[in-house]
Structure 1
């Protein structure tokens, strides 16, 4: 009799496994189908908004907009995936609960947790996908976008120079005057600029070509048959194939941490730590030298202040990179936590419309999750908290709420 008990139990378990796996496959198929449809619609909407903003801010033409279109799509996905996944689970689980399929599954011995496994699986896959997008795909896409935009800015600049035949930048202290522009070559060009020692230099070239170097963050101008003079009229030299460099516009020169690869961020952390140690050592040596010389007034002088400022700047950069690294892990994992709270909540709200369920679920996330996330980011960048744990606080809040909602679903 004891031997028969396990056989009957195993037979009953096998009889439940078939319907359970069939139902899980059905739910997973519905989740994937609805998610792909929604993410495509939402991404297309955001892509067109993003392209319109980019074209307006940078004056891009239609051909350039079409060039950057394939690279804008992956840049939008990390922002659309979590909310779209939440809407997906609200639709699918709200529908099957409204059709009493959850009640029927429980009557057949299939728990609510087992019904949620397809959503957890999809959430896990999208978590890994989101992390890959933010760490590798987006930096690659942004790099390509910047190259296209840089080329566009070159074209716009050369068109303006061909029309006006003069360009000046008083802030950076240089100006360009040309006779004409032919095939991206400046003819009979005169360049006037200030050196770091505030000396005014004038260079006149028969021909000149220019390009924007994103890697070095400079504008490179190659001069042919050039002649240079100082402000006093002294001739520098007769030069040929001389290269001038000027800083790029601020919007092109600045590299945002969210556009860097994970390896670049980690390398940046190490470089900033090294810079801090170097500046700290230089400041200590300078202070020791001033003490030995008895020049106590210079302990609060400009040289030490500059070194301390550079050390603080390196520290701020390190904190910015560290915060970005940990935020990528936590933001990617938000897909899993959105599912953890959205699936059980949709089951509880079975009789409501799915859009009502989504709003009831997403509104607290907007009012609590994202503000807490932004707060933790700012506190981490200011060294008030450690980003290693601080960036997970919003997900922890969602996890606690999800456990509470799931326990109600399991009980009832």
Structure 2
């Protein structure tokens, strides 16, 4: 009697077929979200800079350095829509039914996209946590260089610009000519000076020396000293030259925030802020203990008094101290800046790693689309994307206003998506 040995079944062909279909749908979805999140926003920026005669090469570099943030956010949503389109197409063409009739389980059908979703999560996190900070640094460096070469980039019509020690308010700006220029500055003693000019021109001859020079016409100079309140000094002149150091202009550019920093840098900043926050909490606690000691001391002194007149003065004093003590206990020490940094820290992980909950939800949903699988899957994906983004915005707003735990508010959308997908997946495989 011959013994027949069964060769282990190979699913390599199946996995490659599913992966190929997924990457095609993912690529189409990625291009869609790329245009939504990136092209519209960046073209507005490019148009604004090009209108000021900035070299085209600078514009292209600025756009290139802005790519990582858009790529990182596009990956999860493209993964969601790509999965829905893939399995929607399989379901509408009865390929899922053919696979099931061949003895292939749902776990095998889902496995390749699940592994790709995990891979995309780490890839999206790498782009968001490494390439985004690098792109932000290069973007800021290039923008500073661009200002040194073309300072009027920072000056727009009817705008307010904050520099190191001065504020510049402009009227109509045409090229290097400015109408109705207002300059507000403060010296080291916080004395304020306001300069109003009917017209102004930018003088390029001092740019090589690192100075942005304004030639002002028909000016009114107003000065006030902090120590002499109510006293002002006015002066008028036909012309004046006002200089601003270019390093003061570039230092006014906003430093990268938590969203543009790497997670280790954000974590270190959070720890530093927590130390300062704990110091405030301890100071408030010590103040409460001091008030409680004063309250107890006044009560003892009142009981030790024998003079009725002096005893009658203590209840009011005790009530004031008691009220201060209760107010000190009721007042919560909160740090909104620390809360925002914690929210950004958790968002750095929650958005990239949403790829896994998305594929878990998209797989069973895609199996239910029997007709027009790809188009229906694309529509469902857009709806879930809007819903997820709305939950993120709502969670962030709730976390800032109510100081809810940042981890819960930022991870709750992922938890809800994962739980819904897991339940639908269990329900599907048991049918």
TM-score by length of 1: 0.70
Question: Which one of the candidate residues 310, 329, 334 is aligned to 2:354?
Answer: 334
Question: Which one of the candidate residues 34, 38, 52 is aligned to 2:43?
Answer: 52
1:329 counterpart SS class: helix
Identify the residue that residue 142 of structure 1 maps to in structure 2.
Answer: 136
Say whether the 8 Å CA contact 2:354–2:414 is kept in structure 1: yes
> Quick check: 1:409 aligned with 2:404?
no
- Distance in 2, Cα, partners of 1:284 & 1:86: 49
- Distance in 2, Cα, partners of 1:300 & 1:210: 53
Say whether the 8 Å CA contact 1:167–1:175 is kept in structure 2: no
- Distance in 1, Cα, partners of 2:323 & 2:242: 51
Question: Which one of the candidate residues 72, 78, 99 is aligned to 2:93?
Answer: 99
Q: CA deviation at 1:140?
A: 1.9
In 2 relative to 1, CA 258–300 (structure 1 residues): closer, same or farther, beyond 3 Å?
Answer: farther
1:351 counterpart SS class: coil
Q: Deviations over 1:77-135 (max 9, x none)?
A: 12222222222122222222223222221122111221111111111111111112222
> Quick check: 1:275 aligned with 2:279?
no
Say whether the 8 Å CA contact 1:165–1:180 is kept in structure 2: no
Identify the residue that residue 378 of structure 1 maps to in structure 2.
Answer: 397
2:246 counterpart SS class: strand
Q: CA deviation at 1:211?
A: 2.7
Instruction: Give the alignment of 1:246-395 within 5 angstroms.
Output: 248=252, 252-253=253-254, 255-280=256-281, 312=334, 315-367=335-387, 369-382=388-401, 384-395=403-414
Identify the residue that residue 245 of structure 2 maps to in structure 1.
Answer: 210
Higher relative contact order (Cα pairs below 8 Å, separated by 6+ residues): 2
> Quick check: 1:398 aligned with 2:417?
yes
In 2 relative to 1, CA 36–258 (structure 1 residues): closer, same or farther, beyond 3 Å?
Answer: same
Q: CA deviation at 1:179?
A: 9.1
In 2 relative to 1, CA 278–385 (structure 1 residues): closer, same or farther, beyond 3 Å?
Answer: closer
In 2 relative to 1, CA 28–273 (structure 1 residues): closer, same or farther, beyond 3 Å?
Answer: same
In 2 relative to 1, CA 357–196 (structure 1 residues): closer, same or farther, beyond 3 Å?
Answer: farther
Instruction: Give the alignment of 1:93-242 within 5 angstroms.
Output: 93-154=87-148, 155-157=150-152, 163=177, 168-170=182-184, 180-182=203-205, 184=207, 185=209, 186=211, 210-212=245-247, 218-219=248-249
- Distance in 1, Cα, partners of 2:284 & 2:422: 53
Which runs of no fewer than 5 residues in structure 1 stay unpaired?
A: 213-217, 221-246
Question: Which one of the candidate residues 81, 95, 106 is aligned to 2:75?
Answer: 81
Q: CA deviation at 1:157?
A: 3.0
- Distance in 2, Cα, partners of 1:334 & 1:99: 28
Q: CA deviation at 1:143?
A: 2.4
Say whether the 8 Å CA contact 1:134–1:328 is kept in structure 2: yes
Q: Structure 1 stretch 114-123 or stretch 394-403: which is displaced more?
A: 394-403
In 2 relative to 1, CA 195–54 (structure 1 residues): closer, same or farther, beyond 3 Å?
Answer: farther
- Distance in 1, Cα, partners of 2:254 & 2:399: 25
Which runs of no fewer than 5 residues in structure 2 stay unpaired?
A: 156-172, 187-191, 234-239, 299-316
- Distance in 1, Cα, partners of 2:43 & 2:395: 31
- Distance in 1, Cα, partners of 2:342 & 2:135: 22
Name which one, 1 or 2, has greater alpha-carbon Rg.
Answer: 2
In 2 relative to 1, CA 352–265 (structure 1 residues): closer, same or farther, beyond 3 Å?
Answer: same
Say whether the 8 Å CA contact 2:88–2:376 is kept in structure 1: no
In 2 relative to 1, CA 208–392 (structure 1 residues): closer, same or farther, beyond 3 Å?
Answer: closer
2:204 counterpart SS class: strand
In 2 relative to 1, CA 118–271 (structure 1 residues): closer, same or farther, beyond 3 Å?
Answer: same
- Distance in 2, Cα, partners of 1:152 & 1:198: 41
- Distance in 1, Cα, partners of 2:323 & 2:19: 66
Say whether the 8 Å CA contact 2:46–2:59 is kept in structure 1: yes
TM-score by length of 2: 0.67
In 2 relative to 1, CA 298–256 (structure 1 residues): closer, same or farther, beyond 3 Å?
Answer: farther
| CA RMSD across the alignment | 4.5
Q: Structure 1 stretch 316-325 or stretch 354-363: which is displaced more?
A: 354-363
In 2 relative to 1, CA 164–284 (structure 1 residues): closer, same or farther, beyond 3 Å?
Answer: same
> Quick check: 1:26 aligned with 2:17?
yes
Question: Which one of the candidate residues 30, 33, 39 is aligned to 1:39?
Answer: 30
